[in-house]
Amino acid sequence: MTPRPSILILLVVTAAMTLLPASAQERPAQSASPAISENVSSFIRTTGGNDPAAATQAWLESVPRNQREKSNAYFEGGYWLILWNFVLTVAISILLLTSRFSARLRDFSEALTKIRNVQIACYAILYLLLVYALSFPLNLYENFFREHYYGLATQSFAPWLREQLLGLALTLTGGTLLVVVLYAAFRRAPRTWWIWATIVMLVFSGTLVLIAPVYIEPLFNTYKPLTDSKIRDPILAMARANEIPVKQVFEVDASRQTTRVSANVSGLLGTTRVALNDNLLKQCTLPEIRAVMAHEMGHYVLNHGAKLLTYVGIFILIGFALTRILFDAAVKRWGEKWGVRGISDPAALPLLALILSTLLFIATPFLNTVVRITEREADAFGINTSREPDGMAKVALKLGTYRKLNPAPLEEFIFFDHPSGRARIRMAMDWKGANLPPGESRASGKQPATH
């Protein structure tokens, strides 16, 4: 929904960040049939929940084979798309550099005006448009045809394209601003730019998360307060129990774009908002909705927005430090051939994109793991707040429509930014099997001792 990450690698980290943590999205899709889930529930009831491993297996086996194969194919196709997007960025960058087209774009911008910032802005806009155009075929396949093929998309081509252009306009605005500010830092601090660039990226990311619920998300979807008290009140009760200062829950019309079930907490500080989508409302029962919303509240209570911003900040700092070394080496070797002068030369932007996208590609398993660990924390918070192990298991199965349910451990480490269905169901069944007491010592009738 927000600008396509593939457009500019400098924005990738930022975009990925806003999509993942604070707005941590749960995106299950169509469900395993409710009847099957009920059968599993009764199986687990009869076994008394004493064997979490067997219970987990029973849940997983409730998904019909053809459905599992389809979701595996969808998710595994995503592994290849990571590679193809990376290869495309590398190819575009190398093409722009070796053909000296980047140098010519820079010369054109310099001929246009004497003002440095305007030169940079001019280069940035042309560069972003060019990259968007060159990556459009892959974008079209990945985000339109492929989504339709797997039954996850609901939009026809015209509204899809309209949103693409809207996303492009946002990327041009945000991306150009970011590039202008970054180059101001590059000019003023040619040796320590990588430290300043990290700060710029963090401020930019934080601002994006802050303004997204107010200025960006409403451009793509309509958010309105949830009025059904049977759903709203149990959610607000969980929020009150955890000191989350929300007075209302929002419903978003995600069915405009997708069949996926989702909920999220987005924003920062005063713009924080809890929203669940209409697919979730239509497809899930109250226990499942409570399980999802308790997970989202976990992100809020455990301060995952700020924490992930910090972790990503460390990644960016290391990334820029390495970039500085690789960039200087590349310019020394090929700078003259490419017509690239140095860090403060906008003609070197494709080189920066090339290096950063390579580092990001290598860092994929580590970034996924950092996010997956925070997701697991939110799961643990969610199960303890909602106390809905079966609801959590059913939602995990619904998520399984687009995320492989039962991956190999190494596969989960490399590619999963959320725990797999198997891991989530096992957590729910372990929780259920532990049979925690309700915690009230009503029998004794004594007041708790104060210390």
Q: What does the binding site for Zn ion look like in residue numbers (CB under 5 A)?
A: 24, 375, 378
Query: What token pair was written down for 4?
Result: 């396509």
Within 8 A by CB and 6+ apart from 161, the residues are: none
CB closest to Zn ion, residue no: 24
Phi-psi region of 267 (alpha: psi -120 to 50; beta: other; left: phi over 0): left
Q: For residue 263, which phi and psi values (nearest 5 degrees)?
A: -150, 155
Query: What token pair was written down for 49?
Result: 């929940």
Distance CA 12, CA 204 (A): 12
Minimum distance of Zn ion from residue 21's CB (angstroms):
8
Amino acid at 413: F
Q: Output helix, strand, coil percentages for the chain, rounded to the nearest 5.
A: 70, 5, 25
Distance CA 94, CA 96 (A): 6
Longest dimension (CA), the chain: 85
The string of DSSP letters for 285-340 reads: -HHHHHHHHHHHHHHHHTTHHHHHHHHHHHHHHHHHHHHHHHHHHHHHHHHHHHT-
Length of the chain: 451
Q: Is 276 helix (H, G, I), strand (E, B) or coil?
A: strand
User: What DSSP designation does 31 have?
Assistant: P
Distance CA 300, CA 184 (A): 35
- Residues 98/338, Cβ–Cβ less than 8 Å: yes
Distance CA 166, CA 239 (A): 34
Q: How far is CA 205 from CA 11, 17, 66, 198, in A?
A: 9, 8, 41, 10
Residues 275, 281, 283, 287: is their CA dihedral positive or negative?
positive
Minimum distance of Zn ion from residue 346's CB (angstroms):
38
Q: Which residue has the tokens 């451009």?
A: 219
Which class for 408: exposed (0-12), middle (13-18), buried (19 or more C-beta within 10 A)?
Answer: exposed
